Amino acid sequence: MGCVSCVGFNQEIAGIKDDIVLRLKEPTTIPIEAESICPDLFVKRSYREIYDLPVYYGRRKMRLGELFSIDGEKSDFITIEDDVSNVKKIGSKMTSGKIVVHGDVGRHVGASMAGGEIVIRGNAADKAGINMQGGLLWIKGNAGHQTGSALPGENKGVNHGVIIVEGNAGLELGACMRRGIIAVLGDVGDFAGARMIAGSILVFGHLAKRAGAGMKRGSIISFGSSEPLLPTYRYEAIVQPVFIGILLKYLKELGIVFESDMTGKSYERYSGDINALGKGEIFIHVKS
């Protein structure tokens, strides 16, 4: 992870005058399901209408304003000022706007989001960006298991969009991914890119065991250390892929700073998984 740092999204709330600020009224260990915390639902609603949006406090249906203090109305920019690690489904199915969370966030943040931006200035629990269809999910801390994976029982996951994790990510990162970009600046757990259909996963830290298990197509790129690959991957050649430079340029434009020029580097290319379609590829950076 020493080769990269981030400067992007440091001003995501600077100069914003019309954001809606949410704060939990009191800490709780009871899970809150808050699919209604979504810019699409806030942008045309008055304070009273936002207050009345439904949430579930455990199994009990309540109104958003009964659990959160609300400051503002009629905006597609939402700021959440507290640790909301027990609040699930924030930003679910959003298509535009922005959410900034100043703390940890619960499971399913950005689930099925199709547009807009979510910035988590903390850690994200399991299944962040699950079934993502577009937009940008930026996690400043660590991400849990199955980040950018498919919905339970589905064999197709992330279809479009970008997920960036500045810390580490857990098991099954990008499982069943079919399009899009996932970049992890730290380490990732086992089964990264399992059953991938397409898309790109970039890992700047340590790539753990069983990466690309069952992958049909797609690319996994390891810039750091790596566990031995599955025997169902064949070594092909030392290559210098142009598309990796394009991906790195795109990440740089988003705000990721590379301490050295990483374009034009050499990679060991492996193809597989031959137990699946076998047209996936894993690139391991060749250290100079």
Q: Given the DSSP bridges, would you call strands 181-184 and 200-203 parallel, antiparallel or unpaired?
A: parallel
In the sheet that 32-33 helps form, which strands lie side by side, from edge to edge?
Answer: 60-63, 54-57, 32-33, 87-88
pLDDT of 172 > 80? The answer is yes
Mean pLDDT score of the chain, rounded to an integer?
Answer: 93
Q: Which residue has the higher pLDDT, 16 or 196?
A: 196
Residue 288's pLDDT band, with cuts at 50, 70 and 90, is confident
Confidence at residue 18, expressed as pLDDT on a 0 to 100 scale: 85
Confidence at residue 264, expressed as pLDDT on a 0 to 100 scale: 75
Read off the pLDDT of each residue in 114-132 and give the average, rounded to a whole number. Answer: 97
The token pair at 155 is: 């064999």
> Cβ of 66: how many Cβ atoms within 10 Å?
11
Q: Quick check: 175 and 131 in contact, CB under 8 A?
A: no
Return the domain boundaries, the chain: 4-285
Confidence at residue 17, expressed as pLDDT on a 0 to 100 scale: 52
Residue 66 phi/psi, 5-degree rounding, is -75, -25
The span from the CA of 257 to the CA of 237, in Å, is 29
pLDDT of 269 > 50? The answer is yes
Give the helix ranges, DSSP H, for the chain: 39-42, 47-51, 64-67, 242-254
- Which residue from 190, 204, 199 is spatially nearest to 217, judged by alpha carbons? 199
pLDDT of 32 > 70? The answer is yes
- Name the amino acid, one letter, at 5: S
Three-state DSSP at 61 gives strand
Confidence at residue 287, expressed as pLDDT on a 0 to 100 scale: 84
The token pair at 40 is: 């699409």
Burial 145-171 (b: 16+ CB within 10 A, else e): bbbbbbeeeeeebbbbbbbbbbbbbbb
Confidence at residue 138, expressed as pLDDT on a 0 to 100 scale: 98
pTM for this structure? Answer: 0.93
- Name the amino acid, one letter, at 91: G
Confidence at residue 11, expressed as pLDDT on a 0 to 100 scale: 42
The span from the CA of 159 to the CA of 179, in Å, is 5
Q: Quick check: 279 and 24 in contact, CB under 8 A?
A: no
Task: For residue 49, count CB atoms less than 10 angstroms from its CB and return exposed for 0-12, middle for 13-18, buried for 19 or more.
Answer: middle
